[in-house]
Amino acid sequence: MRAKRARPDALVAEIAARQHGVIALEQLLWAGLSRSAVKRRVEAGHLHRIHRAVYAVGHANLTTEGHWMAAVLTCGKGACLGFESAGALFGMLPVPTCPPPSVDVVVPRYSGRSRRRGITIHYTATLTPRDVTRRKNIPVTSPARTRRDLGFGPEPTRSHLEREFLRLIRTAGVPMPEVNVRVGPYTVDCLWRDARLIVELDGYEHHRGRRSFTSDRARDRELKLRGYDGLRFSYDEVVGRPDTVVSSLIDHLSRASRIAPTGRSTRRG
């Protein structure tokens, strides 16, 4: 009997660890707890109600990310962090005090959900799968959608994208490149000279339309003929999928044997 009781609790702890210390009632039931078992754990202080059908596991001293995740979970399927909260998660805006005074959550218009205490709900009928990603395992509107929702315009300037990229690889322990240097007739964004690797950062304002696409590919072919490998990353990739960007970069640099990047985790906070 004791072993059977331990397994649901182990699953609960595993799920909560991936979700910044919080878990939804639906997940508790999936883990094998009954509603009465959930009630007993609340009374015993093992679970702490944060929002309707969402609990903190072990203690209620959540991080900002925990409060963000709890707000998304209580709003149900299809919900994601949005607007100012998404901007803070992506580093576009300052991170609020903890606990945040209010959390912005975007939900499909057809859901019919009501407002929640401490949560500002934004109803929308235009949220598509391409508009949603994950950051620190929190469902969140994509960087491009977040910028549109905040009125920042479609994408930051190229210099801002370069700063975000350089900050990312510095945090990851990847050797720093030369920036904005000439290679033949071209000025490239980032160059690892010994590895003969070039990274170009594609912002919408600088790479838009068929003509730009064709020009970029012709440039890539010319640099390839000169003996350089090339990678291209967009703002959405740099900000929304940093681990994928770093993994790809490390893979290419490691092949060059002259550089041995450390490859530390890019996850912050």
Least confident range from 171-175, 224-228, 259-263: namely 259-263
The single-letter code of the amino acid at 102 is S
Sheet with 103-108: strands ordered across: 119-124, 103-108, 80-81, 138-141, 132-135
Please give the DSSP secondary-structure letter assigned to residue 15: H
What does the block give as tokens for 212?
């730009």
Residue 240: pLDDT band by 50, 70, 90 thresholds? Answer: confident
- Characterize 168-206 residue by residue with b for buried, 16 or more Cβ atoms within 10 angstroms of its Cβ, and e for exposed: bbeebebeebeeeeebeeeebbbbbeebbbbbbbbbbee
How far is residue 206's CA from residue 189's CA, in Å, rounded to a whole number?
A: 12
How far is residue 175's CA from residue 171's CA, in Å, rounded to a whole number?
A: 10
The single-letter code of the amino acid at 42 is V
pLDDT of residue 209: 45
Whether residue 34 is predicted with pLDDT greater than 60 in this model: the reply is yes
Q: How far is CA 181 from CA 176, 191, 267, in A?
A: 13, 7, 29
Contact 82, 122 (CB under 8 A): yes
Residue 92: pLDDT band by 50, 70, 90 thresholds? Answer: confident
Contact 35, 55 (CB under 8 A): no
Select the more confidently predicted residue: 181 or 139: 139
Whether residue 121 is predicted with pLDDT greater than 70 in this model: the reply is yes
Contact 198, 223 (CB under 8 A): yes
Whether residue 256 is predicted with pLDDT greater than 80 in this model: the reply is no
Whether residue 28 is predicted with pLDDT greater than 80 in this model: the reply is yes
Q: How far is CA 4 from CA 11, 17, 33, 151, in A?
A: 12, 21, 11, 52
How far is residue 50's CA from residue 22's CA, in Å, rounded to a whole number?
A: 8
Select the more confidently predicted residue: 153 or 202: 202
pLDDT of residue 212: 54
Select the more confidently predicted residue: 80 or 209: 80
The single-letter code of the amino acid at 164 is E
Domain spans of the chain, in order of start: 2-57, 64-150, 158-255
pLDDT of residue 241: 87
Percentage of the residues of the chain whose pLDDT score is greater than 90: 48
Whether residue 32 is predicted with pLDDT greater than 90 in this model: the reply is yes
CATH number of 158-255: 3.40.960.10
How far is residue 167's CA from residue 91's CA, in Å, rounded to a whole number?
A: 12
Residue 16: pLDDT band by 50, 70, 90 thresholds? Answer: very high
pLDDT of residue 269: 40
What does R_g of the chain's alpha carbons equal in angstroms?
A: 22
Q: What's the average model confidence in pLDDT over 73-82?
A: 94
The C-alpha angle 238, 206, 184, rounded to 5 degrees, equals 95
Residue 259: pLDDT band by 50, 70, 90 thresholds? Answer: very low
Beta pairing partners, 200: 232
pLDDT of residue 211: 47
Please give the DSSP secondary-structure letter assigned to residue 268: -
